[in-house]
Structures are given as C-alpha cells and as structure tokens.
Amino acid sequence: MPTSTIDDKDAAAIQAARIGVAICDRTAWGRIKVAGDDRLNFLHNQSTNNFQILKPGQGCDTVFVTSTARTIDLATAYVREDAVILLVSPNRRQYLMEWLDKYIFFADKVELSDITEYTNTFSLIGPRSDAVLEKLGIGELIGQPYGSHKVYTIAPAEGVRIAVGSGLAAPGYTFTFPNTDKATVWNKLLEAGAVEMSDRAWDALRILQGRPAPDAELTDDYNPLEVGLWQTISFTKGCYIGQETIARLNTYKGVKQHLLGIRLSAPAEVGSAIAVGDEKVGKLTSYTETADGYFGLGYIRTKAGGVGLKVKVGETEGEVIEIPFVSHDYP
C-alpha cells in the first residue's frame, strides 16, 4: 500500500532491520518459474537487465517495462540449472504471467508456471543477518555478490534456497523453499535471533528506503531512470522492450523528474501536489508515519532541485532527503 502507519512492534522490527536483524514473511509475493532452453534469451529480451551473462547460482534485479519504457514491476531473478525464478510484487503476479505469455512465440522453447502456491519466501534484513547464517551453519554465502544463491538444509527442512539480498537497501538474505516447511524455517530463524517484521513494517521500511512499489512509484507515468533503478539496467545488451526510450534518455540526459524522499513536518495525503513556493513540481506517491516522524516518497521535477530542497506537500512543510535504494547519477 502507498500509505503506512506502524505500531510499537513494527517500530521495533524496523529498528532491528537497521542495527540487528529482522525477518519478514514475503510469501504473498509472486514466484514465476521460467523454464525451457530459451529462458535466458527470453528474459533478456523482455526486461532491462542482462540475462545472457548470468550463470546458475547467480541472480539480478530487473525491471519489466512497456514498449514506451513505462514501469510494470521491479523483480528479482534467480538463475538455476533448469529454470529462472522471478520474485515479483504481489499485485503483479497474474499480470506478469499474462504479459510474459503474450511474448512467447510458437518456436520459442519457453515455459511459464506460477509456483507461488507451492513455495514460501522469507527475507532476513539487517547487519546481523550474517550472524544468523553462521548460527545455522550455512555461512558459505557470506560475502558473495548480490543475487548469489545455493540450496541448503535447515534440518529437518530440505531444499531451502538462500540468496544474497534482502529486497531492501539493507544487508540480508532471501529464503525460498517448499510451503510444507514454513513453520520449521520460520522458527529456526527466530531462534537464531531474528525479530519478526510484519507486512506493514516492511512497507514502512521500503518507503523510508525508497524501494518503489507498483501502483505507487511504478506506474504508466514513470520510467526506470526517473525511479532511479540504474543498477537494474544494461546499456550494452542491445534490443529489448522499451530499450529505445531508455537509451535515448540516458544518451541525452533527458530524465525530467526523480523519485526522492521527503521528510515531512506533519501528515500528508498520497496524491498531494509537491510545490516550491506557488509552483507545482511533483506529486507524493507513498507516505508513512514512523517513530521518527512523517515521511513520504514523491516524484519531483529535476529542474526544481534535489536533496535539501524545501517543499510543501499539500499544506505540509517538507524537506527532500536522499533515499538509499535508488540513485540519480548518470553512469
């Protein structure tokens, strides 16, 4: 949801993610399996990142965009020996299944399947995540590149695939495994020191960190460069859906608005205009109230300014601040 309000338990979980370790149940997120001999080429042509360089055991974030480079979803892809698993936003699962299927042609060796109901996904979040893995006796992944993943046993649960990356701008790991082992894995992680994080706390933290969400920051109104998802885009891989628009924006430095964080002095409404003086310069897309105060995400015109800019959101005073999940520097 683009609006989030938290309670004391949520505040404790967010604090744990900052200085300790939290665990969030992301089972509601979609898991799409892409199999067949042409799977890497297919995903290479349908999204922004370079899949042709990935080997089994590696992964990446990628953005699915329209033909005019408008954002559909930010997904994480894990390359296995026989398939690629896409972790997608809960409200984009069915849409992406249908959207990807539309681009599979008769001769393509690509098979799609929705494995969400048969699997679970948890994320460990925070600087103490490594300590949890060490307690479980599976410290091999510590220090490996983002998206790296391997299968482990967390007795008695077998077939637990652990990947580097929390899904947020914080250290951590993502666990995917059969749904029959949910209670076992959850309890093991709690016993190892993780603090339970609710969906509501996750959403507040993703707003604080600037992770964009569909129907809020990822819509037909915005492209990945305006969002600031440069790390998900390959500028050398050649043609893909939306590539021409993205390449042109990069070449001519044509990004006209940026997703930014706004520290607010009072509550604000999602959808409110962001103004500098009497001039409207953007729109608030997400809002949360936390133990540290009021905070929002919004798109602001590039020419209006960036970090440090004083703005009004509706009738509320605000200041633009940096958010760690995105970047607005041209490569």
Give the closest residue to 228 by CA, choosing from 294, 299, 284, 152: 299
Q: Please give the mean pLDDT across all residues of the chain.
A: 96
Closest CA to 11 of 205, 211, 301, 299: 205
Q: Indicate the pLDDT class of residue 238, thresholds 50, 70 and 90.
A: confident
Q: Is the pLDDT of residue 301 over 50?
A: yes
Whether 303 shows a pLDDT value over 80: the answer reads yes
| Model pLDDT, residue 331 | 81
d(CA 188, CA 209): 28
User: What are 117-169's pLDDT values in tens digits?
Assistant: 999 999 999 999 999 999 999 999 999 999 999 999 999 999 999 999 999 99
Q: Under 8 Å CB-to-CB from 107, ≥6 apart: which residues?
A: none
User: Three-state SS string across the chain, please?
Assistant: CCEEECCHHHHHHHHHHHHCCEEEECCCCEEEEEECCCHHHHHHHHECCCCCCCCCCCEEEEEEECCCCCEEEEEEEEECCCEEEEEECHHHHHHHHHHHHHCCCCCCCCEEEECHHHEEEEEEECCCHHHHHHHCCCHHHCCCCCCCEEEEEECCEEEEEEEECCCCCCCEEEEEEEHHHHHHHHHHHHHCCCEEECHHHHHHHHHHHCCCCECCCECCCCCHHHHCCHHHCCCCCCCCCCHHHHHHHHHCCCCCEEEEEEEECCCCCCCCEEEECCEEEEEEEEEEEECCEEEEEEEEEHHHCCCCCEEEECCEEEEEECCCCCCCCCC
Is the distance from CB of 137 to CB of 92 less than 8 angstroms?
no
- In this predicted model, what pLDDT tens digit does every residue of 2-55 receive, in sequence order? 666 678 999 999 999 999 999 999 999 999 999 999 999 999 999 999 999 999
- Tell me: the pLDDT tens digits for 178-194? 999 999 999 999 999 99
Residue 4 is predicted with a pLDDT of 62
In contact, 214 and 298? CB cutoff 8 Å? no
Q: What is the percent of the chain where pLDDT is above 90? A: 95
Mean pLDDT of 84-92: 97
Q: What is the pLDDT of residue 1?
A: 47
- Residues counted in the chain: 331
Verify cis geometry, omega within 30 degrees of 0, for the bond prior to 324: no
Query: How far is the first Cα of the chain from the last one, in angstroms, to the nearest whole number?
Result: 31
- Which tokens in the block code for residue 187? 């309890």
Question: Strands across the sheet with 83-88, in order?
Answer: 59-65, 71-79, 83-88, 30-35, 111-114
All structural domains of the chain, each given as residue ranges with its CATH number in brackets, are 22-193 (3.30.1360.120), 207-321 (2.40.30.160)
Report if pTM > 0.75: yes
Q: Over range 89-103, report the average pLDDT.
A: 97
Amino acid in position 279: E
